[in-house]
Amino acid sequence: MLTGLNHLTLAVRDLARSLAFYQSLPGIRLHARWEAGAYLSCGDLWLCLALDAKAGERPAHYTHYAFSVSAEALPRTVKALEQQGARVWKDNRSEGHSFYFLDPDNHQLELHVGDLASRLAACRAKPYQGMTFQGVSLTVRHASLEEILALYHRLPEFDDCKSVADLQTRLATNQTSQLIACVNGVPAGFKLGYALGETAFYSWLGGVLPEFRRDGVAQALLVEQEKWAMEQGFCTLTVKTRNKFRGMLMMLLKNGYQLIEIEPKGDTDDYRLLLRKSLAA
C-alpha cells in the first residue's frame, strides 16, 4: 500500500548554483552533498538534486511541484525569490495564495498557502466544470485496548512496542475514554484518555493512519472525546504533544486549547507541549 510521496529528485545542470538557490529558501535544509548531487529536506519532504547535463529545458506541460508556506511567510519568501531573479511561469487562478516560479534549471515550482482540505472546501462551494466528490462515511465508536493498540503499532511516529498490559498499567482504575474512528468502515485513528481527578481529564494517546489524514479523522475524535468528557462532568481537558507535530498543535489551538507548559527534551522538535481547554458547562 502506498503511504505518501517518498522523495522528489530534480535534475540540475549546475549543482553549486542550484544548491545556492534552494538553500536561500527558508525551511530548506542541506543534509549531504557529493560530486553529482545533494540531499536536502523541506519539512517531511526529502529533496534530492542530481547532476544531469541534459537538465534545463523548459517543460511544455503543466507538471509542477508545490512547497507549503504559511500566509505570513509567503510575501517575504516571494520577495527573496524576486531578488534572486526567479522567473514567474504562471499566474494564480486557484483557491489559496500561490506563487509560481522557475528554478535555475526551469523546473516549474510553486509556493502554496493551503492544503487539500481547503481546496476541496473551496471546490464544494464553487465546483470545477464536471467535478464530482467521493463520499466519505466517518464514524466514531468505543473500542477495546486491543483495537487501539493495533492502530498504534501502525503509526510511523511511534516506534516503541507497547502492549495491552502497558496500557492497562497506565490507565489503572481511572475512568477512561477509548475511541476509534472509522472511514467507510475501516479503522483510521484512535484517541485514548483517562481521568486525572473528578474534574480533570487527560487525552493521553492518539493518532491517525497516514492514508486517512485528510479526512477529518483527528477533528472528529477530538470533538467526540470532548463531548464525552463534558457528559461525564469533567471541567478541563489536557493534552500533551511534541513541537514537531505541527498539524496536531494547530488543530488544538484552533479548537480553543491553550499552551500552559513547555517541557524541553532532546532537540527542539522533541520539546513536549502541554495544552489545556476549559470545557463549557
Rg (the chain; Cα; Å): 22
Quote the cell numbers at residue 25. Answer: 529558501
Question: Which amino acid, 87?
Answer: R
144 to each of 137, 139, 149, 151, 163, how far by Cα in Å? Answer: 21, 16, 9, 11, 13
Determine the Cα–Cα distance for residues 203 and 277; give it in Å rounded to an integer. 11
Catalytic residue among 35, 57, 72, 110: 110
Give catalytic status of residue 110 as yes or no. yes
Angle at 170 between CA 176 and CA 196, to 5 degrees: 55
Beta bridge partners of 256: none
Determine the Cα–Cα distance for residues 237 and 278; give it in Å rounded to an integer. 7
Catalytic positions: 110
